[in-house]
Amino acid sequence: MQIPEGATSMSQAQHYRAPPPPVTPSSLSFPFSDRRFDLKPFVQISNSGNQASEDEVGVCAALLTFCSYILIMITFPLSLSYCIKVVQEYERAVIFRLGRLLKGGAKGPGIFFIVPCIDTYRKVDLRTVSFDVPPQEVLSRDSVTVSVDAVVYYRVNNPTMAVANITDYSHSTRLLAATTLRNVLGTKNLSEILAERETISHTMQASLDEATDPWGVKVERVEIKDVRLPVQLQRAMAAEAEAAREARAKVIAAEGEHKASRALKEAAEVIAESPAALQLRYLQTLNTISAEKNSTIIFPIPVDVLTHFLK
C-alpha cells in the first residue's frame, strides 16, 4: 500500500480517502435515467414548429392569391381599371404583396399590373428636389452668434430603400440638413464662415450623403445662401475696416512722398551740375502756364540777374 504524501503513520494512511474526480458537463446525468440530457430533440421540435407556421402562412397566401385571380376573371372587363396602373418616366412604383416586397425591385416607367385585393403600391418621384434650410442660429467657435441658411438639392436613387427603410425620407432629410448645418458651422470661426463658404458646402454635402445613403437618397449639392450678423457686430466690423483702409492710405501717401523727395533730390543734383538746365526748366514752366486759359501775368526775369543777387 502506497502511503500518500503528508501521512505520517499507517493509521493515517488507512483513513485517507482520495479526492473525488472533477465534475465535467459530459459526466452529468439525471437520477431517473442513465442517459445524458440532450437538447437536439427540442431543437428539432422547435424547427419543425417554425416550418409548420411558415407552411401555413404560405398556404394562406396562395389561397388568397388564387381567390383574387378568380375574382379578377369573374369581373374581367371592370377589373382592368383596377389592375392596370401607369407611372411617368420620372416615377417608380414599389409594390407590396400581402405585406412583402415583390421580387424585381420597383416597377416603371410605363404600365404595370397589380392584384387589387392583395397588392398595394407607392409611387416615388426620382426628380431632383430642392428645399431651403430654415435660418439657424449658430454659435461659432470664437463665440459669435450668426444666422445662416442654406439650400439643399437631393434625389432618390433607390426607390425600394426610400420606401422600406424610412418612414418619410423627405422630412428626415430636411431635419438632418438643419442639424448638419449647425454642427459644421459650430466648428468654424467667423472669418472662416464668411470666407470659406464653398469648403463648408462640400463638407455638408459629404456628411449628408453618407448619412442618407441607407435611405436611398443622394444629396447632389449644398449651398450656403446667406450669413446674417448682429447689427452691433456689423458696425464694429465696418469701423475696423474703415480704420484699416485709412491706415493703408496713409502708408501709401507716405511712400509716395518718400519717392517724390528722392526724385527731387536727384533732379536738383542734375540741375546743379548744368546751369543751363535751370534755364530750360524755367522756359518749360512758362510754356506750361501759357497753355492754360487763365489770367496769369508773367514777368520773365533773366536767370543771370537772379544769380547776381544770389552771389
Q: In the predicted model, what is the mean pLDDT of residues 38-59? A: 53
- Do 225 and 155 lie in one domain? The reply is yes
Specify if 185 maps to a domain.
yes
Pick the last residue of a domain from 177, 194, 229.
Answer: 229
- CA nearest to 237, candidates 248, 245, 249: 245
Residue 175: all three cell numbers together: 431635419
Domain boundary among 124, 148, 166: 124
Q: Indicate whether 35 belongs to any domain.
A: no
For residue range 62-85, what is the model confidence (pLDDT) as tens digits? Answer: 888 888 888 888 888 788 888 889
**Residue 301, in any domain of the structure:** yes
What is the rounded average pLDDT of the residues 104-130? 90
Q: Which of 132, 151, 143, 86 is CA-nearest to residue 112?
A: 86
Task: Check whether 188 has a pLDDT greater than 60.
Answer: yes
- Phi then psi for 71, rounded to 5 degrees? -65, -35
Residue at 250 is within a domain: yes
Count of domains observed in the chain: 3
132 lies in the same domain as 223: yes
Which of 161-165, 181-185, 301-305 is the least confident region? 301-305
Is the domain of 104 the same as that of 140? no
Q: Which of 228, 225, 222 is nearest to 138 (CA)?
A: 228
Report whether pLDDT(40) > 80: no
Placement of cell 447689427 in the chain: 231
3-state secondary structure of 127: coil
Range of the domain at 242: 235-309
Centre a 10 Å sphere on the Cβ of residue 108 and count the other Cβ atoms it contains.
21
204 domain-assigned? yes
Domain check: are 249 and 261 in the same one? yes
Q: Answer yes or no: do 133 and 181 share one domain.
A: yes
* pLDDT tens, position by position, 190-228: 888 988 899 999 999 999 999 999 999 999 999 998 888
Given a cut of 70, whether residue 26 has pLDDT beyond it is no
Q: How many CA atoms lie within 13 A of 37 on its CB side?
A: 7
Mean pLDDT to the nearest integer, 246-256: 92
**CA–CA dist 135, 158 (Å, integer):** 30
* C-alpha to C-alpha distances, 95 to 89, 111, 118, 121, 123, nearest whole angstrom: 17, 13, 10, 4, 9
Residue 136, helix vs strand vs coil: strand
Run of H or E including 142: none
* In-domain check, residue 34: no
Per-residue confidence (pLDDT) for residue 37, from 0 to 100:
42
> What value does the mean pLDDT take over residues 110-130?
91
Is the predicted pLDDT of residue 29 greater than 60, yes or no? no
- CA–CA separation, 33 and 94 (whole Å): 58
Establish if 27 belongs to a structural domain.
no
pTM of the model: 0.61
Give the residues across from 137 on adjacent strands: 147
9 belongs to a structural domain: no
Q: What is the pLDDT of residue 204?
A: 93
